[in-house]
Amino acid sequence: MIEMRVMGIALDTRTGSPIVVLNDKENRKALPIWIGSAEASAIIRKIENIPSQRPLTHDLFIDISKQSNYKITRIEINDVDDQTYFSTIYMYNKELDKELQIDSRPSDAIAIALRADVPIFVTDNVLATGLISTDLEKDEQEAKEFKEFIRDIKPSDFEKLLKKDFESDQ
């Protein structure tokens, strides 16, 4: 699982649909998730610190969690099926020592995470499906270094490692 942050909202040039883009901390990988217009608006409002006269749905969720003594601790985008992403909002009540896991659309979970200032995590299976590289130069350099490393390995190197592991187990 990797922690990611909201890079911003983009528009799909083909369909005009909004996309929330998550980046890893090194800005090397990006995960685009297509979302609805209302959720895009809620995310943009928080990113841009645009106030509303009345609480919006995500603000209401935060208020309810506070009133019920549940602290939102994190969100996880934890599954994808046929380009539909799934996520969970994690909440914890210290007095009851109880954690709640609430199924959510990723767009809503992200809007809530931004308001609660909690981390956004993405599981490995989701990353494997939708992640795109944003640092091709660094990826190419790492691939080149790995190929050089592999090229220079001799069978005797493995023999030494296996012998060392065997001796440490004794």
At 54 the three-state DSSP class reads coil
pLDDT, greater one: 120 or 156? 120
- The structure's pTM equals 0.76
Do residues 120 and 73 lie in contact, with contact meaning Cβ atoms separated by under 8 Å? no
Do residues 106 and 117 lie in contact, with contact meaning Cβ atoms separated by under 8 Å? no
**Predicted local distance difference test score (pLDDT) of residue 51:** 87
Rounded to an integer, the average pLDDT of 34-44 is 92
For residue 83, what pLDDT band results from cuts at 50, 70 and 90? confident
pLDDT, greater one: 141 or 109? 109
At 166 the three-state DSSP class reads helix
Do residues 29 and 132 lie in contact, with contact meaning Cβ atoms separated by under 8 Å? yes
pLDDT in tens, 137-165: 655 665 565 555 545 655 555 455 555 54
